[in-house]
Amino acid sequence: MEQLIITIEGKSNADLLMQLMLKFNFVKSVIRKKALDTKSGAVKVVNEPAGVPVVSEVEPYNWINPTRPATDEEFEQLALEMEQDKEENSPEQVVNFVNKELKAWRKRKK
């Protein structure tokens, strides 16, 4: 079974679409729910990244989606972690580390 979620404007339009959908033999059920209120900020809906086919319905506040905006709490946590980070590296050390990792990655790719 597959589910299809459709957002449509107006109750009368929704009724017409429901009647039409129920005429198809392969449609098992049609359920109407109020749309999530995304304008008030109560529920944040994050879409999948552009160019990626959507394989599931849009989830409220999909925290694993890399394109979603971070919350204030996450920014605060990041700031705290950065303040507590005592490790300091020179630019040369960073470049050497990155080059070493790239060489290892190239070997694995071959």
Point out which residues pair with 60 in neighbouring strands. 45
Q: With beta carbons less than 8 A apart as the criterion, state whether 35 and 7 touch.
A: yes
Q: Assess whether pLDDT exceeds 80 at residue 97.
A: yes
pLDDT in tens, 62-81: 556 667 677 788 888 888 88
pLDDT in tens, 26-51: 888 887 777 655 554 444 444 444 44
First to last CA, the chain: 42
Rg of the chain over Cα atoms, rounded to whole angstroms, equals 24
Task: For residue 104, name the pLDDT band (cuts at 50, 70, 90).
Answer: very high
Nearest by Cα to 63 from 73, 53, 54 = 73
CA distances for 9 relative to 43, 55, 68, angstroms: 19, 24, 26
Give ∠ CA 61-66-71 in degrees, rounded to 5.
50
Q: Assess whether pLDDT exceeds 80 at residue 58.
A: no
pLDDT in the model for residue 62: 56
pLDDT in the model for residue 65: 67
Percentage above 70 pLDDT, the chain: 69
Per-domain residue ranges for the chain? 1-35, 36-85
The rounded distance, in Å, linking the Cα atoms of 95 and 37 is 47
Q: Assess whether pLDDT exceeds 90 at residue 101.
A: yes
